[in-house]
Amino acid sequence: MKVEATNPAVEFHDLTVSYDKKPVLWNIDMTLPQGALIGIVGPNGAGKSTLIKAAMGLLPLGSGYVRLFNQSLDEVRHRVSYVPQRESVDWDFPTSVLDVVLMGRYGKLGLFRRPSNTDKEIAMNCLKKVGMEAFTKRQISQLSGGQQQRVFLARALAQEADIYFMDEPFAGVDAATESALLGILQGLAKEGKTVVVVHHDLQSAAEFFDWIVLLNLRLVACGPIKDVFTNKLLQDTYGGKLTVLAEVGELVKNREIPSREKY
């Protein structure tokens, strides 16, 4: 099951990625549409993070290529933004919330220029969008998990990119943050930006995304959620181990998704 996007923002062509000669992604070949909120879903170790790292040029490719807006990454780097996993940095680092968000401007500044007042204004606006304007001067170690994730999102927003690759932005955040983040991502998609999110929770995936990529070392399926979130394809992805999958598939079909338990 594979649906090609009519107006692709991202194209993966025969992509294979290996760690230590052991392939972790096989022959990924797909296109992702512009202006959509796209979820990459699959079990642990399926290569979800690897896929977006490969797209961002962080890993050497075994074979194949990735093109963004039909150009190579180096040509469109300023239009692409990456949100790494929250755990990938040391949150005890001596720096403030505003300084982290200002990093989003560095790509545009080049080697010698320092962030200007305009850059600071943009950073402040992005902090406002994620509801963190009260924490500008705060040292980053004093933030909760959800707040850290908001700061990372603000940094990505400050890049003013057209494609966003996000690695598990919803992992370990509270319900309030989750809905705030989702609102922002949906807003971006509405503006015509492409948002690609690695996500591990199936139930909420059904709620969040317009377009789904089902991944388990190889590409199981990709396309609009109504075509892809089916019983059979989910079982193909997860190996049929989760019986709950069946219900999720049904729910999606009818788009009758109950509001999930808020904790």
Partner 1 sequence: MDAFYIIATASLFAISCSILGAFLILRKMAMVGDAISHAVLPGIVIAFLFTGSRDSITMIIGAGILGVFTTFLIEFFHRRARLQADAAIGVTFTWLFALGVIMVSLFAGQIDIDQDCVLYGEIAYVPLDLWISESGINFGPRALYVASGILIINLIFLFIGYKQLYITTFDPQYAATIGVGVTLWNYLLMGSVSMTTVAAFESVGAILIVALMVVPSACAYLLTQRLEQMILLGVLISIFISVVGYYLAAMIDGSIAGGIVTVSGCLFLMILLTQVLKKRGAKTTVSSPENLG
For partner 1, the binding residues (CB under 8 A) are: 20, 53, 56-58, 74, 77, 80-82, 84, 88-90, 93-96, 99-100, 103, 106-107, 109, 111-112, 114, 139, 141, 155, 159
Q: Minimal distance in Å, beta carbon 124 to partner 1?
A: 18
Cβ distance to partner 1 smaller for residue 171 or 251 = 171
How far apart, in whole angstroms, are the C-alpha atoms of residue 23 and residue 78?
A: 30
Taking a C-beta distance cutoff of 8 angstroms, is the pair 141, 92 a contact? yes
Q: Minimal distance in Å, beta carbon 205 to partner 1?
A: 24
**What is the bridge-based pairing of β-strands 8-19 and 22-33?**
antiparallel
Cβ distance to partner 1 smaller for residue 94 or 239 = 94
Closest CA to 235 of 256, 258, 262, 214: 214
Sequence-ordered list of residues with C-beta below 8 angstroms from that of 141, at least 6 positions apart, any chain: 91, 92, 93
Q: Minimal distance in Å, beta carbon 56 to partner 1?
A: 5
Q: Minimal distance in Å, beta carbon 110 to partner 1?
A: 10
Cβ distance to partner 1 smaller for residue 70 or 141 = 141
Cβ distance to partner 1 smaller for residue 164 or 238 = 164
Q: At residue 220, what are phi and psi to the nearest 5 degrees?
A: -85, -45
Could you give the C-alpha distances from 196 to 80, 82, 147, 189, in angstroms and in order?
Answer: 11, 10, 21, 10
How far apart, in whole angstroms, are the C-alpha atoms of residue 146 and residue 143?
A: 8
Would you say how long the chain is, in residues? 263
Cβ distance to partner 1 smaller for residue 99 or 207 = 99
Q: Minimal distance in Å, beta carbon 141 to partner 1?
A: 8
